[in-house]
């Protein structure tokens, strides 16, 4: 039903260059990828049937987990650089600089909305989070009537 893809570190690093100097291939492949595959099923049994889509989703999830674990530039837990705000700026002040953002969350998507990559993953997978109806066999309630 689904499709499994091979993770390509070179393509991932080219897509997300902010991580590539600090996070080497061994770290991403051995530490981050297994965690990302828990959230983005990559064993061929998921709902995604196109390899290109599965690759994009997997790369987004790896970037999301990388930012959560190593910061926005992959340089450690605290990270360096911008805050990575996700959502609509709801208020801002100039003196002593204060910014707050809001992004409507539910318990289901709160974890994903912590980074821009997770938010993109959540939006891209909306079609796969809907109910799929598979009708069962048709039942004939009065078989003598149809003879």
Range 75-86 average pLDDT: 54
User: Which pLDDT tens digit goes with each residue over 34-68?
Assistant: 999 999 999 998 899 999 999 999 999 999 999 98
Q: Could you tell me what percent of the chain has a pLDDT over 90? A: 48
What confidence category does residue 88 fall into, taking pLDDT thresholds of 50, 70 and 90?
A: low
Q: Which two tokens stand for residue 23?
A: 């996070």
Range 103-130 average pLDDT: 86
pLDDT over 70 (residue 76): no
């Amino acid at each position: 039903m689904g499709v499994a893809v091979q993770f390509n570190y070179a393509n991932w690093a080219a897509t997300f260059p902010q991580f590539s100097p600090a996070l080497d291939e061994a770290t991403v492949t051995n530490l981050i990828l297994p965690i990302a595959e828990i959230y983005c099923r990559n064993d061929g049994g998921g709902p995604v049937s196109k390899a290109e889509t599965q690759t994009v989703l997997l790369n987004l999830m790896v970037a999301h987990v990388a930012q959560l674990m190593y910061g926005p530039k992959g340089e450690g837990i605290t990270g360096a650089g911008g805050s990575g705000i996700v959502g609509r700026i709801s208020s801002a002040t100039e003196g002593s600089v204060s910014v707050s953002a809001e992004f409507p969350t539910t318990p289901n998507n709160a974890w994903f909305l912590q980074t821009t990559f997770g938010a993109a993953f959540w939006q891209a997978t909306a079609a796969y989070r809907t109910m799929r109806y598979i009708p069962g066999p048709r039942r004939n309630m009065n078989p003598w009537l149809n003879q």
